[in-house]
Amino acid sequence: VLITYRNMVLTESESRSINSSLQVLQKLQNILIDVQDIETGQRGFMISGNEKFLDAYFKGLDNLKKDTINLVALNAAEPPVN
């Protein structure tokens, strides 16, 4: 019974660790998308001179700030994994 309980506790801990890692990966994916939006908007504006491309640029900047704050908060809330 003791071994079963110990295995359940270890499994729960590992599950939390995996979930935390997946959340970090999702936040990093969002940051990558933000950077791509910034780059696309900037390149579109530089090539065409059309200011409509700046919408994607500024939206990407805003999202990048938010997603970076979310990632920092997520990492601060999680204990370090050894």
Q: What is the pLDDT of residues 7-66, one digit of tens each?
A: 888 888 888 889 999 999 999 999 999 999 999 999 999 999 999 999 999 999 999 999
Q: Which residue has the tokens 């050894």?
A: 82
- Quote the pTM value: 0.77
Question: Which among 40, 31, 32 has a CA at the least distance from the CA of 58?
Answer: 40
> At a CB cut-off of 8 Å and minimum separation 6, what does 26 contact?
none
Could you write out the DSSP letters of every residue in 27-43? Answer: HHHHHHHHHHHHHHHHH
In this model, does residue 67 exceed pLDDT 80? Answer: yes
